[in-house]
Amino acid sequence: MLNRLRNLFERVVIGESVPRLVRWGKAVPRAAIRDLQADAFRVAFRYAATRQKFLARKLQEHGIDPAGVRKPEDLGDIFTTPDDLLRFPVEDFLCRRPQSVFETTGTSGAPKRVYFTYDELEFAGKYEAAALWENGVRPGDRVVCTFDPGYWLSSWVTFLACKRMEVFCSAVGKPTPRDFYPSLALYRYNVIVADPTWLVSLTEIAEKEGTVPVKVIMAAGDRMSNVYRGYVQDVWQAPVILGYGSTEAGGGVGMECRRRDGYHIDEFNFLFEIVNPDDEGYGELVMTTLSRRTQPLIRYRMRDVARFIDEPCPCGAPLRRISSIKGRRDEMVVMGAGNMYPEIFERVLCGVKGVSENWQVAVRQEGLHDILEFRLELSNGCSTGAIEEAVRHSLETRYPDVWANQACGMYKLAFRFLAPGGLEQGRKPKRLVDERRS
């Protein structure tokens, strides 16, 4: 019922207008958002339970009567996993005829496929437009988007978002920063949307050869450490706003506001849970799509670890926030030092001079000991002894507990230094790897 009202309101009152969507999104009280979400969950669940073979089979296996399911927890340990998307034919997930397909490659293995209709892509674009609008993008701006193309979805959604706002947009694939650099001035782009690594490379060029006036920079696709964010912001004199999304989500699910303290999540179109939280509330993000009908995902395990930030944001937006992503769940390593996430090493290495942004930490086994090995590419001729000392000092001051476990012999630290380019990493670099025999 609530959702029928919302849909009617969205169609009749908001229509095509992005500013009206933003005003509405900020005016709905938090309690009403929860009610809308709960209602939308029931609608999306009932829809999928009768049309999606995968879900129907799961319900049967677990002896759950769909009529009794009111909220996600009623589904017990029924989830949809990335492995399910790989293992079962797509027909098991499709609920109606699709018009488009995108792929997502994880850190390993075959791509997962997600299907959409044009309407769903336009819809995702509308909500991304709202997030960009809230961060200051307006008609008259010129957006360049350099997300990886191919079977990836994000550049299309950004393009559709700009189309919706009637903002000039070039979604140009992913040229090398060097090839792209002259186009900045040529086309007078003042909004850059890109992945963090590409952005840092472009910024290095601009720092030497000159910047252009930029209003705001949006980065997504991977985590970005505060050091790199700070560097990019300093060079361009513009805020860097981070977004969080995935192909499975159909684009963005969350974006920072100007406060840059956690992602405001799109609670109108997704319901998030955090499962198996630790003492601090960090656990795996689980997402249910509330608005998609071609390939809805009920309780999809995103493999990313984060926590909810429940305090209201000073920006006034009622949408709940999640923390920055601590790491991928499959990157968490349990060892003598404690539960290790890539984020720990991003922080430890932040500010250590003489190493490139291409690094990896491995957990190895030597005899009965866990070894925590830093694999670092040398970037500007600092002595390896000085770098090692700086890393040890940083670990000790930032993570005294992790350090203490080392001091009392629970594990040992090791260092391996490589020439620039010596560390082979794919599109999504694995920052933390577990190489112990299982």
Which spans of this chain sit near Zn ion (rule: CB under 5 A)? 257, 259, 313, 315, 317
- φ/ψ (deg, to 5) at 216: -155, 150
Nearer to Zn ion, 25 or 296 (CB): 25
Residue with tokens 């930030």: 309
Nearer to Zn ion, 101 or 317 (CB): 317
Q: Please state the closest distance from residue 258 (CB atom) to Zn ion, in A.
A: 7
Q: Please state the closest distance from residue 313 (CB atom) to Zn ion, in A.
A: 3
Nearer to Zn ion, 146 or 324 (CB): 324
Q: CB within 8 A of 34, min separation 6: which ones?
A: none
Q: Please state the closest distance from residue 319 (CB atom) to Zn ion, in A.
A: 8
Nearer to Zn ion, 114 or 255 (CB): 255
Q: Please state the closest distance from residue 315 (CB atom) to Zn ion, in A.
A: 3
Q: CB within 8 A of 279, min separation 6: which ones?
A: none
Residue with tokens 């849970």: 273
Nearer to Zn ion, 301 or 320 (CB): 320
Nearer to Zn ion, 18 or 257 (CB): 257
Q: How far apart are CA 73 and CA 14, in angstroms?
A: 33
* Residues forming beta bridges with residue 359, ordered by sequence position: 376
Q: Please state the closest distance from residue 138 (CB atom) to Zn ion, in A.
A: 19
H helix intervals, 115-258: 118-134, 154-165, 177-186, 196-209, 226-236
DSSP secondary structure letters along 92-131: GT--S--SEEEEE--SSSSPEEEEE-HHHHHHHHHHHHHH
Q: How far is CA 146 from CA 40, 198, 247, 287, in A?
A: 34, 8, 16, 26
Q: Please state the closest distance from residue 32 (CB atom) to Zn ion, in A.
A: 18
Calculate Rg over the CA atoms of the chain: 23
Q: Please state the closest distance from residue 318 (CB atom) to Zn ion, in A.
A: 10
Nearer to Zn ion, 25 or 342 (CB): 25
